[in-house]
Amino acid sequence: MRIVLVGPPGAGKGTQAAYLAENLSIPHISTGDLFRANISQGTDLGKQARAYMDAGQLVPDEVTIGMAKDRMAQPDAVNGFLLDGFPRNVGQAEALDVMLKDEGVKLDAVLDLEVPEDEVVKRIAGRRICRNDSAHVFHATYNKPKTEGVCDTCGGELYQRDDDSEETVRTRLEVYHTQTEPIIDYYRAQGLVVTISALGKVTEVTARAMAALKQSDEG
């Protein structure tokens, strides 16, 4: 299957993408991984991206599109992929359509993870990260440490990242609404959008997503 995963920040896209890709035996292609791989390997596209990022500028669509095209051309993605973070605007969605048409294939589904805005704010603004190890993550509501402000795993100090503050989260949501949400309407016009609730346990959301994708595939 060829799937695009969309949803606001805090919807759990990264977590769901990993589970779904494993269940469907297709590679999980995330924009973050594309950038990291290209930059660390010193590819032409990676060098271009780095120059923009070092200047504090947004990486132009054509650079991101180029990275995605190269990744989708790799052998493990020939029979399918799950895109996470790409396309992030209508221009990129149109470019993806052209790319796939050139290959004689098309998308099977666009999985839209739906989460109420207040829940997104609660999820992200409540995150607390360990200063010693950023893999140790807690939550002020859903996963409280035994001692407030102290990591259960290593005893390190827990803190809130600057970009996890409520104000920043609401700004990120605004960017999502203006830039990324329009691609849902773009794909809905093609009859590709499958919307599911991203509330509940991770396993419940994955099961919901798998059932919805199976239904859309049969449809």
Read off the pLDDT of residues 117-157 as tens digits, 9 standing for 90 and up.
Answer: 999 999 999 999 999 998 899 999 989 999 999 999 999 99
Q: Are 31 and 84 in contact (CB under 8 A)?
A: yes
Residue 181, exposed/middle/buried by CB under 10 A (0-12, 13-18, 19+)?
middle
**Band (185; pLDDT cuts 50, 70, 90):** very high
Q: Is residue 104 part of a domain?
A: yes
Q: Give pairs for 168-172: CB < 8 Å, separation 24+.
A: 169/9, 169/10, 169/120, 169/121, 169/124, 169/125, 170/121, 172/9
**Band (163; pLDDT cuts 50, 70, 90):** confident
DSSP state of 79: T
Q: Is residue 37 part of a domain?
A: no
Residue 195 has pLDDT above 90, yes or no: yes
Give the CATH number, domain containing residue 206.
Answer: 3.40.50.300
In the set 2, 13, 71, 123, the catalytic residue is 13
- Give the model confidence (pLDDT) of 80-96 as tens digits: 999 999 999 999 999 99
In the set 50, 69, 170, 172, the catalytic residue is 172
Asked if 128 is an active-site residue, the reply is no
Q: Is residue 66 part of a domain?
A: no
Amino acid identity, residue 120?
V
Q: Is residue 35 part of a domain?
A: no
Asked if 123 is an active-site residue, the reply is no
Residue with the two structure tokens 């949400």: 181
- Residue 170 is part of which domain span? 2-27+74-218
Q: Is residue 59 part of a domain?
A: no
In the set 2, 123, 127, 128, the catalytic residue is 127
Residue 216 has pLDDT above 90, yes or no: no
Q: Is residue 203 part of a domain?
A: yes
Distance CA 21, CA 83 (A): 10
Asked if 172 is an active-site residue, the reply is yes
In the set 47, 101, 144, 161, the catalytic residue is 161
Residue partners of 144: CB distance under 8 A and separation at least 6: 138
Q: Which helix (H) or strand (E) holds 154?
A: none
Q: Is residue 185 part of a domain?
A: yes
Question: What total number of domains does the chain contain?
Answer: 1
Distance CA 62, CA 59 (A): 8
Statement: the pTM of the whole predicted model exceeds 0.75: yes
Q: Are 205 and 16 in contact (CB under 8 A)?
A: yes
Q: Is residue 211 part of a domain?
A: yes
Residue partners of 118: CB distance under 8 A and separation at least 6: none
In the set 69, 88, 170, 208, the catalytic residue is 88
